[in-house]
Amino acid sequence: MEEKKMAAIIPAFQLSEKTHTGTVALKVANLKSQTEFYKEVIGLSIISSNEAISVLGARDERTPLLILRKIDNPLPITRKTGLYHVAFHLPTRRDLGNALIKYITGKAPIIGASDHGYSEAIYLTDPEGNGIEVYHDKPREKWDIGPDGEIPAITIEMDAEGVIKEADRKWSGFPEGTIVGHVHLKVADLDKTQEFYTDILGLSLKTDFGQQAKFFATGGYHHHIGSNIWMGRDIPAMEDNDLGLDYYTFFVPDNLELDRIKSHLDEKKYSYEIDDTKIVLVDPNGIKLKFQEEIF
C-alpha cells in the first residue's frame, strides 16, 4: 500500500496523551469455543466466565482486554462495518518470539507476519472470523517520525528468524503489561471517520493512505485506531444480532478527563449517553465506543 503524503492533522481539542485503547468486546455464537481459543491458542487468561460472558486479560492482571458475549440467533456474516482486527501489544520482542513459537508449534491460524517500521506483528483469525494482531513496538528511536508528527507505516516481511532468536521459550500466555495497543476498524466513509476521530474525539491523524485507510492516535503513538474501506465504501452498520464487534473502549487517566470529554462533546452537540461512569457514543459508521477510567 502506498502512503499518501500529508501534514499530520492535530485537532484543536486533544485527548490526554495518557488516554489509550482499553477493552474490545465481541459478540460470539459459540462462547465456549471462542473462550477456549483465546485462552489456549492466543494466550489470554480468563478473569471471569459464565454462560453468557467471558472476560479475558493478561496473566496475573485484572484489566479486561477482551470481553466475549454470547448472542442467540446470530445473523449470517456479511459485509458490514466493525472490527478489522484487535491488536494485542506485548511488552518485548522476546514475548513476541515466545508467541510466534507457540503459534507455529500449536498450528494457530496465522495469516501473516509483517514489519511496519515502528512494530513487528503476527496476524491471525479466530474461529468466527475476527481478525487478531499480536505485536510489539520497536524502540521509538527507530520510528520514522516526521517534523509535523506524522508516523509513516510500511509493510514488509517480518524477520521471523530474528524474532524467534529473541525468545526464551518460556511461554505461559500473554505476560503482565500486555495491552490492547490499537483497534483497527472496517468503516463506511473515511472522510466522516477522519472528522469524527479528529474533530469530535480529539485524536491526531498519524498516517494517511488516502481513500483507503487512515490511522489516528493520542499523544505521540503511531496509532490507537486504524480505519479502512477495503471491503468497499458505504457498507452498512452492524445490527444487534451480528457477530463481531460489540464495542471498544478508551481508558482515560481520571474523572477530570471524562469531564473534559463530556464538555467537548456538549460543545460539539454530539450525542452521547452516560452508563454508570462511562461515556457511550456511536461513530458515523455505527460503531459503539466508550470512555472510562482505566481499570487495574
Q: Check whether 148 has a pLDDT greater than 90.
A: no
pLDDT at 149: 87
Structure confidence at residue 2 as a pLDDT band (50, 70, 90): very low
Structure confidence at residue 143 as a pLDDT band (50, 70, 90): very high
* Mean pLDDT value of segment 5-22: 80
* Mean pLDDT value of segment 151-163: 95
The residue type at 163: V
Q: Which residues are within 8 A (CB) of 229 and not within 5 positions of it... i.e. 6 or more apart? A: 186, 187, 188, 189, 190, 211, 212, 213, 235
Q: Spell out the domain ranges in the chain.
A: 20-293
The residue among 163 and 6 whose pLDDT is bigger is 163
Q: Which three cell numbers stand for residue 67?
A: 470481553
Model pLDDT for residues 82-136, shown as the tens digit of each residue: 999 999 999 999 999 999 999 999 999 999 999 999 999 999 999 999 999 999 9
Q: Which residues are within 8 A (CB) of 40 and not within 5 positions of it... i.e. 6 or more apart? A: none
pLDDT at 10: 66
Architecture of domain 20-293: Roll (3.10)
Q: Check whether 6 has a pLDDT greater than 60.
A: no
Q: Which residues are within 8 A (CB) of 214 and not within 5 positions of it... i.e. 6 or more apart? A: 190, 193, 194, 205, 207, 208, 226, 227
